[in-house]
Amino acid sequence: MDDLLRDFLTESGESLTIVDGEMVKLEAEPNNKDVLQKIFRLVHTIKGTCGFIGLSRLEKVAHASENVLGKFRDGVLQVTPDAVTLIFESLDCIKAILTGIEQTESEPQGDDSDVIARLERMASGEGGGPAPTAAALEAAFNAAVADEVPTQPVVKEVAPTDDAKPEAAKPTVAALPVAAGKAAEVSVANQSIRVNVDVIEQLIVMVSELVLTRNQLLEMVRHSNDSEFKVPLQRLSNVTAELQESVMKTRMQPIGNAWSKLPRIVRDLGNELGKKIELQMHGAETELDRQVLELIKDPLTHMVRNSADHGLETPAERKAAGKSETGTIILRAFHEGGHILVEIADDGKGLPVEKIKAKALANGIVTEAELARLSEAQVHRFIFHAGLTTAQKVTNVSGRGVGMDVVRSNIELIGGSIDLKSKEGSGTTFTIKIPLTMAIISALIVGVQKMRFAIPQICVMELVRASDSSDTKIERINKTSVLRLRDRLLPLARLSEVLNLPALEGETAPESYIVVAQAAGRTFGIVVDTVFDTGEIVVKPVCSVLKDIALFSGNTILGDGSVIMILDPNGVASAVSGEVATRSAAEDAAASVTASTEQKQSLLLFRAGSQEPKAVLLGAITRLEVVDAQKFERSDGRHVLQYRGSLMPIVTSLVGSLREEGSQPVLVFSEDDQTVGVAVDEILDIVDATLRFELTASGSGIVGTAVVRDRATEVIDISYHVSDVFQHWFTKRTVPALRRHVLLVDDSPFFRTMVAPLLAAAGYDVTEAANAELALKMKDEGKFFDVILSDIQMPGMGGYKFADAIKQDPTWRSTPVIGLAADTDGDELGTFDALTRKFDRDGLLETVRGFIGSQERAA
């Protein structure tokens, strides 16, 4: 049923109830003007709305009643019991028609001329006419409801509930925008009621309690053979489960509810702005917690308005740009990686980069020098700044400069984030990411070392059981676990290790399960001991003292009353990539002190172009694919492959040319959400080798060499090979034109061996020093570095003293010194140029990059 009609029915039902009561009151005190005024207004509203939505029959009856009421009000007619009865009769007639509308969604056929005629006679002062007989009433009623409606009393006390099952409670209690718990006659009004959220919260708590008690009872009965309680308890158990489910559902609403007004808004906007706009909505059924929904409603509406106003061009402009005259706005909602994503995409003109730059400069948000260093995407993000609108004129619709900054802060308020992608000329896509917090998700419950954790089902691709005796087994490369799953090379993370759980003694599981998960653009396996089951869980936010643990996105109470943590797949994904680099380094540190720039690395050996084996860092590869050569396509002079629903560019510089037939192995690399394939001739092996980073200038396409089976093997610099495919590809790992030299000062060999390869992989030359004294000796030897990283706490000369010493000496004074702190919160900056957290890989690299960038600018 149309929302408008539903609202009308609900509202009219309520109004009529009030009118009934007031009429009775009026009959008792015929001169009460207030009551009369109230009745008149209510009937008038019903009449007005009928006319508006084209219910002509209803309108006529209401109009006739209104006339009589108007005469009452003006004092022309006396309020007599007869007159009141006649009004009641017309009200009943209206109700009957409403019932008909509710069932058929259109006005039932029927003749009300009798009632109308009598009302008219009354209005013209001819007295009440014959007092309505029961027969006349029934006739009017039957006429009104036509055949569809069973003859049941017009005034229903409550909507019938079919049975006593808890399902009866299912109609989403808080869901529909319908008012009042009054017993309205129109039963649509009875299908939904407004309930305070606190009541629902309270209900949820009570139900959890009930579940707990139920489980205790079940546990008790299980241990006794007395079966007397078993049957009733089983019934209690089922009812409890259903009750729990129903109560949980009351909080959830499809996101479509927040969208329902958009088609109308877009239509009106189109007319106002003279644009042709098509609005497409996908995933309206995606369920969201109602509180979250309420909070994103306004931002969403605002963004759609923006798309229509700023984003889309006029038909003439579109035609000139070679697009169809009708612009499209697409709304899409879906679950991904434990979040709900909402996209608002338009195929309009995209964000005007130059205009934003000019505006940002004018508003003093950036300086020209900073602007020069910013990527296009970074410039785009300026629109989230306060006071920045690119609309040339302030229209009715938008452009008042209170826009995207408010949208952003509203979204961040509920723990979400917003980002955008835009291409000038072809459109803009905004992506809102809303956390699961408060939402119900489907989760896989896994066990590791007698502890249970929930993994959001949404990121689980498949489950694999691995045991030493079967074909599927976990292989280890220098303590790094990998799994060969079909053609893929799957990096594995042992949950027990990721979570740093103490190993249980004497118990090694003969088999384990691998949850193949996808998150943060990576596919990886999470090794667990057991998999229990799947279930719907209510995500509860973690307590603030636990918020810093990136591996958990929330916690939940299971059916048995215990609390378990919900794993954040994105957190696990970053732990996986960290594992590869850090764990082998830790092994090395324990074994011996290695030469400064040599590290053990896991490498993938392959052949490409020549017979000589080449290698690439295993950690960099996302997947291995063997592709049917027929499937390669050419687009815009490049080789591409249809891969997982999008086009993946294929780099051929290693092999020269692609095979025409047969199959070709492809190494797949991913970064952020870009994916590229590198064609090779043959994949040979995975080995563990000491990697020596080349100290020569880059541009050779080689990261370094590794000794594999006593032979020096070239380790390919993938970023070099894919750079002509993507300008911005692997920006994080882009090797600077001139290699920057980093001095790493830390007394812990463990930390040095962990960080040095990281810096090397980011394209820097690294020199290590075990203490400040050694570092200062290098200064005296005339060495120069671009950045110095120093632990702030070291035996002997401490970090702060070391920084002071550098800053006081003219030789190294201009070299940035970055302090490495265990936790930057409590530490002072001193003479350090910056502090960064020791164990935050990304933060550390970001800081280093920040300084080297600034040096470049100065130069």
Partner 1 sequence: MNKTNGGVNEYVTVTIGTQLFGITIDLVNEIFKPARLTYVPLSHPDIAGVLNLRGRIVTMIDCRRRLGISALAGQRDYMAVGVERDGDHYGLLFDGAGEVLRLAPESLEATPVNLDLHWKKVSKGVFRLETGLLVVLDINVLLDFSRRAAA
**By the criterion CB under 8 A, which residues form the site for partner 1?**
204-209, 212, 451, 499-501, 540, 543-546, 549, 551-552, 555, 557, 561-565, 823, 825-826
d(CA 200, CA 851): 53
Please give the structure tokens belonging to residue 472: 């599927």
Separation of CA 193 from chain center: 30
Rounded to whole angstroms, how far apart are CA atoms 460 and 447? 15
Task: Give the pairing type, strands 460-467 and 511-519.
Answer: antiparallel
Work out how close the CB of 549 gets to partner 1 at its nearest, in angstroms, rounded to a whole number. Answer: 5
Q: What angle do CA 769, 772, 773 make, to 5 degrees?
A: 95
- Nearest CB to partner 1, comparing residues 93 and 821: 821
CB atoms within 10 A of CB 447: 17
Q: Which is nearer to partner 1, 504 or 563 (CB)?
A: 563
Contact 331, 292 (CB under 8 A): no
Write out the two tokens for 489: 């090379």
Q: Residue 353 or residue 509: which is nearer to partner 1 going by CB?
A: 509
- Burial of residue 554, with CB atoms counted within 10 A of its CB: 0-12 exposed, 13-18 middle, 19 or more buried: buried
Query: Of the two residues 497 and 773, which places its CB atom closer to partner 1 in the complex?
Result: 497
**Residue (204 or 386) nearer to partner 1, CB:** 204
Q: Which is nearer to partner 1, 543 or 859 (CB)?
A: 543
Q: Which is nearer to partner 1, 543 or 858 (CB)?
A: 543
Q: How far is the CB of 804 from partner 1 (least distance, A)?
A: 23
| Secondary structure, 3-state, 403-432 | CHHHHHHHHHHCCCEEEEEEECCCEEEEEE
Least distance (Å) from partner 1 to the CB of residue 456? 18
Other beta carbons within 10 angstroms of residue 33's beta carbon come to: 11
Contacts of 158 (CB under 8 A, 6+ apart): 183, 190
Minimum distance between the CB of residue 561 and partner 1, rounded to whole angstroms? 5
Q: How far is CA 586 from CA 319, 592, 644, 748, in A?
A: 62, 10, 36, 11
- Provide the minimum distance between the beta carbon of 168 and partner 1 in the complex, in angstroms, as a whole number: 24
Q: Is 557:563 a contact under the CB 8 Å cutoff?
A: yes
Q: Which is nearer to partner 1, 561 or 701 (CB)?
A: 561
Between 461 and 549, name the residue whose CB sits nearer to partner 1: 549
Q: Dig out the tokens for 708 from the structure.
A: 């594999």
CB of 541 to partner 1, least distance (A): 9
Q: How far is the CB of 854 from partner 1 (least distance, A)?
A: 29
Q: Alpha carbon 826 to chain centroid distance?
A: 33
Pairing of β 440-448 and β 530-538: antiparallel
Q: Give the DSSP letter of residue 146.
A: T
Query: Considering the complex, what minimum distance in angstroms separates the CB of residue 205 from partner 1?
Result: 4
Whose Cβ is closer to partner 1: residue 510's or residue 826's?
Answer: 826
Parallel, antiparallel or unpaired: strands 765-769 and 632-635: unpaired
**CB 419 → partner 1: shortest distance, Å?**
28
- What's the angle, vertex CA 30, arms to CA 26 and CA 36, rounded to 5? 55
Report in angstroms how near the CB of residue 550 gets to partner 1 at its nearest: 9
